[in-house]
């Protein structure tokens, strides 16, 4: 469907003069956005630049300041009094940054949430119809699972698909409306991202419109038709994606070119051993043995479901070990729980940033310094000034965008929340630091910065075991990478580490098994 060359391009959604202040601080400042029918439109910007806020305004869950206008197709609407029911009726569908899915309910039940359950003539939920419809939707989005499967049993990529299916289930024949996705791929490894993007491309090719947020610029270039960039709450530009490079996007997002210099790898294997794992079993792990050297950044590569996260959690005393030994600083340890691991100097930054790792309701500062409280007591006086200075220091170094550090941590944007968790653990100078997807949702400017800070911690003696789904990032950030495959370590890759080689080794597993 091509419009005549001189016909005005119609918008499926257009917002203008959109502003939003939180406690007097502008999160959005006079922003315009127009989305055309059938396009994939990427919304980009650094952490805290206002992307999720814009999406929440569209969804009717956050009120805009007066003066904003919204057009949907030919309808001009008033954003005053906009709410989630109106957004729904207008055909807007959302998958938010932390989609509310229920892991202990079945796929069918999850999908049934948010829409009227199909009822039979007796007025009871028609499970047969629900299961049939769910099976169709699962097939459409290439999820290989039964409607009755518990959501918790699915891998992350499929959970995301279920959240998307739930949002779009009644939109199959619609041509108006927009599917809005806030960082749908943040939690997915590269191989899975491609799979999800395929689903999105097919969905758009069928005439649907998608607005989505991502920090992965290669992915944006491969899927988006147009791109809008926000910086500090203002719109910088809307541009066609064709012909753009990642460097162009970085400049638009950050405002200047940045050299994404990762710290130089160090040659650690000759150094003392900090941690040894030998014959470890439990969950998906069949027999895992390796050594982590002092001051080393050791990468752990593997497919999703290979047991990478379980291994980290075992080392933190948070997942049952059925056999094998863990030796820390020459002594065998068997942690009964995370608190024992923490006292032994082991720190863990989990993948699920908000849920597992932050103290909701407490300030950013308290979250950042949590666990270090005893170090601020001097002669029974709590040294607030020191705490305040350390917190300010961390905010500066991690490029955390926050009004004041006394604001509650749940008011932070997703990526900034992740930085707070990292800052807290890094400043504790742990002996062993376990990092699971530490830069998930973190913007391009802060990524290399975070690895520089990790590297600084290693110079102070911390040893790091790192799981990251992006092979490019692994190759840059690690001194050495081990590959977990079929429950065993199958390769030990030393510098020069090449991303494509890691991808090969990891995917080899699938073919061989
Ligand atoms: N409820 C709130 N109260 C106060 N400030 C808030 C609240 N929600 C968001 N903010 C602030 O608004 C700004 C924009 O946040 P937003 O979540 O829109 O960023 P984002 O672009 O989605 O970032 P990210 O990439 O990290 O997800 C941030 O500075 C954030 O701290
Ligand atoms: Mg966000």
What is the per-residue pLDDT across 490-513, written as a single tens digit (0 to 9) for each?
999 998 888 889 888 887 744 444
Residue 4 falls inside a structural domain: no
| Residue of the CA atom closest to atom 15 of ligand 1 | 48
Ligand nearest to the CA of 442: 1
Q: Which atom of ligand 1 is nearest to the CA of 417?
A: 26
Rounded to the nearest angstrom, the distance between the alpha carbon of 47 and the centre of ligand 1 is 8
CATH number at residue 51: 3.40.50.300
Q: Is the CB–ligand 1 distance for residue 404 below 6 Å?
A: no
Please determine, for residue 8, whether its predicted confidence score (pLDDT) is greater than 60.
no
| Average pLDDT score over residue span 107-123 | 73
The answer to whether the CB of 432 falls within 8 A of the CB of 346 is yes
Residue 353 falls inside a structural domain: no
Which of 411, 418, 444 maximizes ligand 1 atoms within 8 Å of its Cβ, making it the mutation to test the pocket? 411
Rounded to the nearest angstrom, the distance between the alpha carbon of 412 and the centre of ligand 1 is 5
Residues 82 and 15 both lie in one domain: yes
| Average pLDDT score over residue span 142-153 | 89
Percent of the chain with pLDDT over 70: 88
Rounded to the nearest angstrom, the distance between the alpha carbon of 158 and the centre of ligand 2 is 21
| Average pLDDT score over residue span 165-185 | 83
Q: Is the CB–ligand 1 distance for residue 363 below 6 Å?
A: no
Residue 297 falls inside a structural domain: yes
Rounded to the nearest angstrom, the distance between the alpha carbon of 442 and the centre of ligand 2 is 10
Residues 414 and 441 both lie in one domain: no
Residues 30 and 159 both lie in one domain: no
Tokens of 154: 């699915």
Rounded Cα–Cα distance for residues 457 and 423 (Å): 11
Residues 327 and 469 both lie in one domain: yes
Residue 350 falls inside a structural domain: no
Q: Is the CB–ligand 1 distance for residue 364 below 6 Å?
A: no
Q: How many CB atoms are located within 10 Å of the residue 459 CB? A: 10
Q: Which atom of ligand 1 is nearest to the CA of 45?
A: 21
Residues 138 and 29 both lie in one domain: no
Residues 154 and 191 both lie in one domain: no
Structural domains of the chain, count: 4
Residue 2 falls inside a structural domain: no
Rounded Cα–Cα distance for residues 22 and 447 (Å): 26
Residue 266 falls inside a structural domain: yes
Residues 147 and 294 both lie in one domain: no
Write down which residue in 258, 285, 317 finishes a domain: 258
Structural domain boundaries enclosing 113 = 99-170
Rounded to the nearest angstrom, the distance between the alpha carbon of 438 and the centre of ligand 1 is 19
Name, in order, each residue with C-beta under 8 angstroms of 128's C-beta and a sequence gap of 6 or more.
Answer: none
Rounded Cα–Cα distance for residues 184 and 203 (Å): 15
Q: Is the CB–ligand 1 distance for residue 416 below 6 Å?
A: yes
**What pLDDT, on the 0 to 100 scale, is given for residue 3?**
45
Query: Could you tell me how many residues make up the chain?
Result: 513
Distances (CA, A) of 354 to 48, 164, 270, 417, 489: 15, 21, 37, 7, 30
| Average pLDDT score over residue span 436-451 | 84
Residue 3 falls inside a structural domain: no
Which of 128-137, 172-181, 187-196, 206-215 tops mean pLDDT? 206-215
């Amino acid at each position: 469907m091509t419009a005549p060359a001189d016909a005005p391009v119609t918008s499926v959604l257009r917002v203008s003069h959109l502003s939003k202040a939180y406690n007097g601080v502008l999160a959005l400042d006079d922003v315009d956005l127009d989305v055309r029918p059938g396009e994939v439109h990427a919304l980009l910007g650094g952490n805290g630049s206002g992307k999720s806020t814009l999406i929440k305004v569209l969804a009717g869950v956050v009120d805009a300041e007066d003066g904003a206008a919204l057009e949907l197709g030919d309808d001009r609407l008033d954003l005053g009094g906009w709410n989630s029911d109106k957004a729904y009726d207008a055909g807007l569908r959302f998958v938010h940054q932390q989609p509310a899915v229920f892991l202990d309910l079945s796929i069918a039940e999850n999908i049934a949430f948010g829409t009227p359950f199909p009822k039979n003539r007796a007025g009871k939920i028609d499970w047969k119809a629900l299961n049939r419809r769910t099976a169709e939707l699962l097939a459409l989005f290439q999820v290989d699972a039964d409607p009755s499967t518990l959501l918790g049993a699915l891998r992350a990529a499929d959970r995301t698909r279920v959240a998307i299916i739930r949002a779009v289930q009644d939109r199959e024949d619609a041509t108006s409306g927009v599917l809005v996705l806030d960082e749908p791929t943040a939690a997915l490894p590269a191989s899975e991202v491609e799979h999800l993007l395929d689903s999105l491309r097919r969905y758009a090719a069928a005439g649907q419109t998608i607005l989505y947020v991502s920090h992965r610029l290669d992915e944006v270039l491969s899927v988006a038709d147009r791109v809008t960039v926000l910086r500090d709450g203002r719109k910088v530009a809307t541009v066609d994606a064709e012909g753009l490079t990642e460097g162009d996007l970085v400049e638009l997002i950050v405002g200047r070119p940045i050299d994404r210099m990762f710290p130089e790898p160090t040659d650690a294997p000759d150094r003392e051993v900090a941690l040894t794992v030998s014959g470890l079993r439990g969950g998906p792990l069949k027999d895992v043995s390796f050594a982590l050297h002092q001051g080393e950044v050791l990468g752990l590569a593997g497919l999703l479901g290979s047991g990478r996260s379980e291994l980290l959690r075992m080392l933190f005393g948070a997942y049952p070990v059925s056999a094998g030994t863990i030796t820390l600083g020459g002594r065998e340890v068997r942690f009964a729980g995370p608190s024992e691991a923490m006292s032994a100097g082991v720190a863990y930054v989990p993948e699920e940033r908000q849920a597992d790792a932050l103290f909701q309701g407490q300030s950013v500062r308290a979250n950042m310094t949590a666990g270090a409280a005893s170090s601020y007591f001097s002669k029974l006086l709590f040294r607030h000034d020191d705490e305040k200075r350390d917190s300010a220091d961390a905010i500066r170094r991690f490029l955390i965008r926050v009004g004041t550090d006394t604001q509650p941590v749940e008011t932070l944007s997703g990526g900034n929340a992740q930085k707070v968790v990292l800052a807290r653990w890094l400043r504790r100078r742990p002996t062993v630091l376990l990092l699971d997807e530490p830069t998930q949702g973190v913007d391009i400017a802060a990524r290399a910065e975070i690895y520089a800070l990790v590297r600084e911690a290693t110079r102070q003696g911390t040893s790091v075991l790192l799981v990251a789904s992006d092979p490019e990032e692994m190759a840059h950030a690690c001194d050495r990478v081990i590959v977990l495959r079929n429950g065993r370590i199958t390769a030990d890759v030393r510098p020069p580490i090449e991303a494509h080689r890691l991808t090969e080794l990891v995917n080899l597993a699938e073919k061989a098994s």
